A and B are shown apart, each in its own frame.
Chain A
Amino acid sequence: MKHMALLRPAAVAIGLMAGAVAPAQVFSQELVMGVRGGPESLDPHFSALGSHAEAAKHIFDTLVWSGDDLQIEPGLATEWTPVDDDTWEFKLREGVKFHDGSDFDAEDVKFSIERIPVVSGPTTTTIYVRRVKEVEIVDPLTLLIHTDGPAATLPYDFVRLFIVSSDAAKDYSTPETAAEGFNSGKATIGTGPYKYVSWEPKGDLVLERFDDYWRGEGAWEKVTRKEMPNDSSRLAALKAGQVDVINYVSSVDYLALESDSAVDTIKGDSVYIMNLQLDQREDTPMVRAKDGSKLDANPFRDMKVREAIDAAIDRETMVEIVLEGLGKPANQMMPAGFFGSNDDIPMPEYDPQKAKDLLAEAGYADGFEVDLYCTSDRLPGDGAICQGLGQMLSAVGIKTNVNAVSKTVYFPAQGRLEYSMFMNGWGTLTGEASYTLGGLAHTNNPDVKMGAFNRIAYSNPEVDKLLQEGATTLDADARRGMYEEAMAKTMADKAYISIVQLQTVWAAKAGALTFTPRFDEDTLAFFMKPAS
């Protein structure tokens, strides 16, 4: 399977004017990054959290690399091919060194895969190796991975399979010892571009360049990754010159920064898409007639009502007004260009009159009342989009009470199926459809291990069939077709209504550095180059 050259995300390149920068900074080989979140441990296998993986990518390499557009590329493995229905062969890169000078080989891969289920924390990394039954070493640079049945997406699962040194981590591979060994640096030996110097939970991660890195030497001798969760503090630190680059600039600050000559902004498409989810159970808790009485049936089970809701949403306004331009209208649950995205899905049209007509046809000429839930502190703009939705739906007669709550409250309640209509950001972090459709669109069925996050009881047998077939089809083109079809069918049912794709903004000292924004929003020091 080769890397697919797809369109890069629209990137606003950093200005190259370096006129006013002091000489000391031009020659400085140090990069200080102010980032919103950090690792929970320096054991890369402990957590599947995005910011955890982002930090780990500085020290460790993954077996398969996920590029800027999240399509897979060779990493520590150079090629991979299915040998038979339940075996993949992986060829490893030659001449790769660990930070302690030892050679990387198949033993380290086997060790890392087998270590994950033992040391994983609650944000479980076991997802990356759940299909692996056995790892067989053929020679130091060849592995056979036996899976529990045909595992078509195995290479995608491996984009966050970090490889640790089997020697250095040997004594630190139980839940009790792992944190001690990795947080102290004793076991933090990877093949990545930077070496561990020091780390404190929620504090600074200090790194030093690894000169024998297989991709070549990084641009910065020393990298400090400072955790600054508060948006204003992060921006202040940049303006005060304490940090060189920050991530997650808020949309309000972005507008102000565009006219600030001391700061460059870099805008990139994000993998996160906001989806409105409509409960399909026969009896749903948060819907009622406008006078408070119970409705005869759950209106969201009526296709006309779902179409009406879709037509009532003005996606352009959502992007231009609510998100200050930092987004794009979305018509499906993955960005264009991902494995399984369907280019033929039309962009829904905003037509409030059609929405009213459809509601009347469905027997809700007077509308009804619903409680809409969403997070207010998880993704940029989530609370605001929710407010916007509430107004748009109320305008066509569906009286919508907006509840933008903390994610601490939202996720457990969503898990208990307490909501009827809710909006959720979803990021397809592996860049392919089984991640998204398998979790959301398949009927919730533990027997086939799919639909775990389908909290609206959505069930379409045709979609289920396509997804189950796709998961076992090793031929990539055939599988892509199945996922595209499943995506089209899911979106046509309108139980999931995609609204907007978010965009992310980084800010850097004017003329300090350049980089290509990644879809998964990772801020990676190795791929940032000094601009000079």
Chain B
Amino acid sequence: MLGFVIQRLLQAIMVMAVMSVIVFCGVYAIGNPIDIVIPPDATQDLREEAIRRLGLDQPLWKQYLTFAGNLMQGDFGRSFVYNIPVLELIGGRLPATLELVLISVLSATVLGVSLGVYAGYRPDSWLSKTIMAVSVLGFSVPSFWVGLILILTFAVNLGWLPAGGRGDTVLVWGVPFSFLTLDGLSHIVLPAINLALFKLAMMIRLARAGTREIMLTDTIKFARAAGISEAVILRRHLLKLISIPIITVFGLELGSTLAFAVVTETIFSWPGVGKLIIDSIGVLDRPVMVAYLILVAFLFVLINFTVDLVFALIDPRIRAGATE
């Protein structure tokens, strides 16, 4: 077990190091950030001064080594644009993304699995057919368009919900969360639906496919023969057996949504990290881009690691394999 953890940690460090080099070189290849941010009336000497201040006059390898050296001491550097520590900048916006993503991914999973199991359990009922038909829409309609339509319908025409932004927040252990206030909830509904739609469709299809397959297996036949009630079969046997692919997908989706909820955050003016990274790319704010992508790499490694642990808890076969 310990060996497994250490191996994963080494992998994570490798990924993060490679990531930082790629971003560093990529931004360097696009050009000098100063050319984008310098005011048009700046004289030649002021331009040189600004370049020198950001350390952009140094050769690339030297800039990278300085960055890596600071990183070893836990310092990600300061944003070129905001002049505040990068970690503070990202950290200040993380709660907003976190609550939006968790609410949407969790509700998509709970709802999607329930509907999917039903559709797999009674594949011929009209309700199942409706569920499957609607899930195709969830896949095929682009999410920015759905977002705009949601705003147009519920905010502009009906006026029930706000069109964007984040509502009132309350502090929980010093972190501001908005889903605990009524105003906050009303703001989170539309972006959460927008973000959840695709995942809901995917969960439905995954759960349905798994259910149909498992229902035909000997396990279920013997359980039925033994006189176990259908409800218990579904809960104890079926759910456990279909959960491995669902948890895998859940983990991947959680990670990618946390990192790249950009479209939804932009349309709904949600002050999360996705919007931050897009804006940073727009002005070549390299410290933010590098730090963010390093953190994302770390996040993915962490989530995959957790998923592996959960597998071991659920499936005795994997647990046995790990101890051998």
Contacts and interface: CB of A to CB of B under 8 A. Distances in A.
Interface in B31-60: 31-47, 49-50, 53-54
Given A122-B53, A130-B43, A240-B155, A415 B35 contact: yes
B165 interface: yes
Contacts of B152: 236
A237 interface: yes
Contact of A237 (B37, B165, B281): B165
Contact of B41 (A127, A239, A409, A412): A127
A232 B149 CA distance: 11
Nearest to B165: A226
Contacts of A183: 84
How large, as a class, is the contact surface on chain A? 35 or more
Contacts of A49: 37, 39
B50 A124 contact: yes
Given A200-B271, A438-B41, A122 B281 contact: no
A499 to B, nearest CB: 18
Nearest to B155: A240
Contact of B82 (A201, A236, A408): A201
Contacts of A228: 164-165, 269
Contacts of B49: 124, 126
B261 to A, nearest CB: 14
A241 B155 CA distance: 9
Interface in B240-299: 266-269, 271, 275-276, 279, 281-284
Interface residues of B, number: 53
A408 B36 contact: yes
B46 A127 contact: yes
B76 interface: no
A527 interface: no
B53 to A, nearest CB: 7
A408 B267 contact: no
Interface string A422-446: 0000110110000100110000101
Contacts of B33: 122
Given A40-B82, A236-B163, A229 B31 contact: no
A365 B163 CA distance: 57
Contacts of B283: 408
A49 B50 CA distance: 15
A275 B37 CA distance: 20
A452 B41 CA distance: 8
Contact of A411 (B35, B80, B155): B35
B269 A439 contact: no
A240 B275 CA distance: 22
Ranked nearest first, the 9 interchain pairs of A and B with the lowest CB-CB distance are: A412-B31, A240-B155, A240-B163, A446-B44, A449-B43, A415-B35, A48-B39, A236-B163, A411-B35
Interface of B: 30-47, 49-50, 53-54, 80-84, 89, 92-93, 148, 151-152, 155-156, 159, 162-166, 266-269, 271, 275-276, 279, 281-284
Given A124-B50, A130-B43, A444-B44, 7 more contacts: A228-B164, A236-B151, A237-B155, A242-B155, A242-B164, A430-B41, A435-B41
7 contacts: A122-B37, A202-B276, A236-B156, A239-B155, A242-B162, A415-B31, A449-B45
